């Protein structure tokens, strides 16, 4: 086993552990889900720092302009395509969930004097789980891109994705708990989904590490575009769904500064 593969195997487990940690917190202390917005801000700052401090200087050092353009275009195109597929899956799942909810007219048809209270059933649809799995596989692939560029970049990106996966674990487990799933089942499902990050990262790093020259430049540019899309269209957008606070903004810059300092220290 090569040293880079050993490091990849070790640090790829970090986001998985944080996914499980988020799920556990969400099942034990539901009120902690309110912190998800702050965690999303923190994750956005951390990922943005990794792109700005680590990946962009590496790309500029190589100075292969057309390879950068190609990789960046592929990254944006891929993220837009994946995002569209995931939105379709989520909307389909919401439609299936809504179809299980009794509407006022249906309730009135059952009788206004019925003593049975109206009940709405919710479920975690298969399409939602598939969408989450695809999202995790993509996160693992981006982590593999980092390790392919070097152990240092991969380690920093693994720590950055750990913050993101913590928020994902909180959200996914929260939906499953609301659907009535038991604590053990929720943690088991989230753990299985989280393991996809590890598998994708290891496979991605193993394959991509064999690239060299212009091919590696395309891979790095792809990673930069995908990570920037992740920050602007996923992390910050979801963070803004909650009421904006000064603390949330501070978390973004705290995450950025922390990883800026870490990157300077490790050099």
Residue 116: helix, strand or coil by DSSP?
coil
Total number of domains in the chain = 1
Helices (H), ranges, the chain:
3-11, 13-28, 36-50, 56-62, 65-98, 104-109, 126-149, 151-178, 183-208, 214-229, 236-239, 246-266
Q: b/e per residue, 1-13, with b = 16+ CB within 10 A? A: eeebeebbeebbb
Q: Identify the pLDDT of residue 253.
A: 93
CA–CA separation, 263 vs 148, rounded Å? 18
CA–CA separation, 31 vs 137, rounded Å? 29
CA–CA separation, 252 vs 239, rounded Å? 10
Q: Flag whether 170 is in a domain.
A: yes
Q: Flag whether 174 is in a domain.
A: yes
Token pair 């091919």 is found at: 215
Q: Which of 9, 14, 38 is nearest to 194 (CA)?
A: 14
CA–CA separation, 136 vs 194, rounded Å? 7
Token couple for 36: 């998800």
Low-confidence ranges of the chain (pLDDT < 70): 1-2, 4, 30-34, 63, 90, 92-126, 212-214, 266-267
Q: Flag whether 110 is in a domain.
A: no
Q: Flag whether 84 is in a domain.
A: yes
260-to-26, 115, 221, 250 alpha-carbon distances in Å: 30, 62, 20, 15
- Taking only Cα atoms into account, the Rg of the chain, rounded to an integer number of angstroms, comes to 21
Q: Flag whether 112 is in a domain.
A: no
CA–CA separation, 197 vs 189, rounded Å? 14
Supply the pTM of this predicted model. 0.76
Range of the domain at 223: 3-29+36-100+120-266
Q: How many CB atoms lie within 10 A of CB 245?
A: 12
Q: Flag whether 113 is in a domain.
A: no
Inter-axis angle of helices 36-50 and 246-266, nearest 10: 30
Q: Flag whether 105 is in a domain.
A: no
Q: Flag whether 13 is in a domain.
A: yes
CA–CA separation, 187 vs 17, rounded Å? 11
Q: Identify the pLDDT of residue 112.
A: 44
Strand partners, 101: 120
Spatial CB neighbours of 145, under 8 Å, sequence gap ≥ 6: 204, 205, 208, 219, 220, 222, 223
């Amino acid at each position: 086993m090569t040293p880079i593969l050993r490091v990849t195997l070790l640090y790829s487990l970090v986001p998985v552990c944080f996914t499980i940690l988020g799920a556990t917190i969400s099942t034990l202390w539901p009120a902690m889900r309110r912190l998800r917005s702050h965690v999303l801000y923190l994750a956005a700052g951390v990922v943005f720092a990794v792109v700005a401090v680590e990946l962009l200087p590496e790309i500029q050092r190589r100075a292969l302009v057309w390879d950068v353009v190609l990789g960046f275009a592929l990254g944006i195109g891929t993220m837009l395509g994946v995002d569209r597929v995931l939105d379709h899956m989520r909307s389909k799942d919401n439609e299936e969930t809504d179809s299980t909810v009794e509407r006022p007219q249906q309730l009135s048809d059952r009788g206004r004097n019925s003593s049975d209270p109206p009940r709405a059933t919710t479920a975690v649809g298969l399409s939602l789980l598939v969408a989450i799995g695809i999202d995790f596989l993509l996160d693992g692939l981006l982590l593999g891109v980092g390790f392919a560029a070097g152990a240092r970049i991969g380690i920093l990106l693994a720590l950055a994705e750990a913050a993101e996966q913590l928020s994902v674990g909180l959200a996914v487990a929260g939906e499953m708990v609301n659907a009535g799933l038991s604590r053990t089942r929720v943690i088991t499902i989230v753990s299985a989904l989280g393991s996809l990050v590890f598998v994708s990262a290891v496979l991605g790093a193993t394959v991509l590490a064999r690239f060299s020259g212009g091919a590696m430049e395309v891979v790095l540019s792809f990673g930069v575009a995908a990570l920037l899309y992740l920050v602007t269209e996923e992390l910050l957008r979801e963070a803004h769904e909650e009421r904006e606070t000064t603390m949330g903004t501070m978390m973004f810059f705290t995450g950025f500064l922390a990883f800026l300092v870490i990157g300077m220290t490790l050099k």
